[in-house]
């Protein structure tokens, strides 16, 4: 077959099956029918307006999807009022804002336990001004007076936090407290040391470690014996007491 010298752009295009493919509604590069992207009005028709809600800035939004949470409120997805085109986004409702505000020092596993993508939630939190690290620091700094004046258990009960967390933040903000020498000789502390409790329970009640609790318990028992023994035996006990030292 002779090779034609006719330019390729002048070849009769009707000889190619492209016209027939388009006429039958098929894509020459795939086996399926040709699909056009949906128009904005079709997207809006897919999610009709279910109602309206006001966000934290006072702007009105058309609700197009509602997702129920396990925390007693719903997440609303939608578009600004009378907005044409675009997909529904997560609306910054007052209920969602209050949820994050009331639980600002809880871990991410709780803060993001919502029926929405993590990236979507992080972007909205950032737009609303939430930051886990900054919010946590601000929470504890604002309660510095209570950290200094209340016992750890009292602070935990008043502000709804764990006692161990309160102890840790007290050390960060207030610093370690130095108890006066012989503090454990007060009646209420001696009662705990001589109550026959486990070392773990004794340490928990006195706010010390188990090793320190053992040393204090041994000294308390030794001194208790000194108050109830004859004078000649006290000399022997006093000699052995020197091994423990005179300070706690």
Q: 149 with 118, same domain?
A: no
Residues of the chain with pLDDT under 50: 1, 8, 11, 13-16, 18, 20-24, 26, 28, 30, 34, 42-44, 231-235, 246-248
Is residue 223 assigned to a domain? Answer: yes
The pLDDT score that the predictor gives to residue 242 is 52
In-domain check, residue 46: yes
Q: Does 202 lie in the same domain as 158? A: no
* pLDDT (0 to 100) of residue 99: 92
In a domain, 108, yes or no: yes
> Do 204 and 240 fall into the same domain?
yes
For residue 136, count other CB atoms closer than 10 A to its CB: 16
The full length of the chain comes to: 248
In this structure, how many other beta carbons lie within 10 angstroms of the beta carbon of residue 241? 15
- CB atoms closer than 10 angstroms to residue 155: 21
Same domain? For 48 and 79 the reply is yes
Does any domain span residue 125? yes
Residue 175's pLDDT is: 74
- In a 10 Å sphere around its CB, with 0-12 CB exposed, 13-18 middle and 19+ buried, how is residue 187 labelled? exposed
- Dump pLDDT digits (tens) for 89-142: 999 999 999 999 888 877 778 888 999 999 999 999 988 888 878 878 888 888
Range of the domain at 169: 143-173
d(CA 166, CA 155): 7
Q: Are residues 126 and 46 in the same domain?
A: yes
98/148 same-domain check: no
Q: How many domains does the chain have?
A: 3
Q: Is the pTM of this model over 0.85?
A: no
Question: Does 22 reside within a domain?
Answer: no
pLDDT value of position 16? 45
Spatial CA neighbour of 55 closest among 76, 28, 38: 76
Contact 124/90 with Cβ under 8 angstroms? Answer: yes
The neighbouring-strand residues paired with 62 are: 52, 79
The reply to whether 154 falls in a domain is yes
44 with 127, same domain? yes
34 in a structural domain:
no
Together in a domain, 67 and 104: yes
Residue 240 shares a structural domain with residue 198: yes
pLDDT of residue 32: 52
147 with 125, same domain: the answer is: no
Q: In what order do the strands lie in the sheet with 51-54?
A: 51-54, 60-68, 74-80, 89-90
Residue 228's pLDDT is 61
- 118 within a domain of the structure (yes/no): yes
């Amino acid at each position: 077959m002779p090779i034609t010298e006719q330019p390729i752009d002048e070849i009769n295009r009707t000889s190619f099956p492209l016209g027939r493919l388009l006429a039958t509604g098929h894509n020459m590069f795939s086996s399926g029918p040709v699909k056009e992207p949906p128009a904005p009005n079709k997207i809006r028709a897919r999610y009709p307006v279910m109602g309206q809600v006001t966000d934290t800035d006072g702007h009105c939004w058309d609700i197009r999807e509602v997702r129920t949470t396990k925390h007693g409120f719903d997440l609303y997805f939608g578009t600004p009022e009378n907005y044409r085109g675009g997909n529904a986004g997560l609306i910054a409702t007052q209920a969602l804002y209050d949820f994050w505000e009331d639980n600002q020092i809880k871990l991410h596993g709780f803060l993001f336990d919502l029926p929405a993508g993590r990236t979507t939630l992080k972007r909205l939190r950032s737009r609303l001004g939430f930051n886990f690290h900054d919010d946590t620091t601000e929470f504890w700094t604002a309660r510095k007076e209570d950290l200094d004046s209340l016992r750890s258990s009292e602070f935990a009960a008043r502000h709804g936090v764990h006692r161990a967390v309160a102890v840790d933040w007290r050390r960060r903000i207030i610093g370690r407290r130095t108890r006066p020498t012989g503090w454990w000789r007060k009646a209420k502390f001696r009662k705990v040391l001589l109550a026959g409790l486990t070392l773990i329970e004794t340490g928990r009640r006195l706010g010390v470690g188990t090793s320190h609790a053992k040393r204090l318990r041994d000294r308390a028992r030794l001194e208790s014996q000194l108050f109830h023994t004859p004078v000649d035996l006290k000399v022997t006990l006093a000699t052995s007491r020197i091994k423990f030292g005179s300070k706690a």
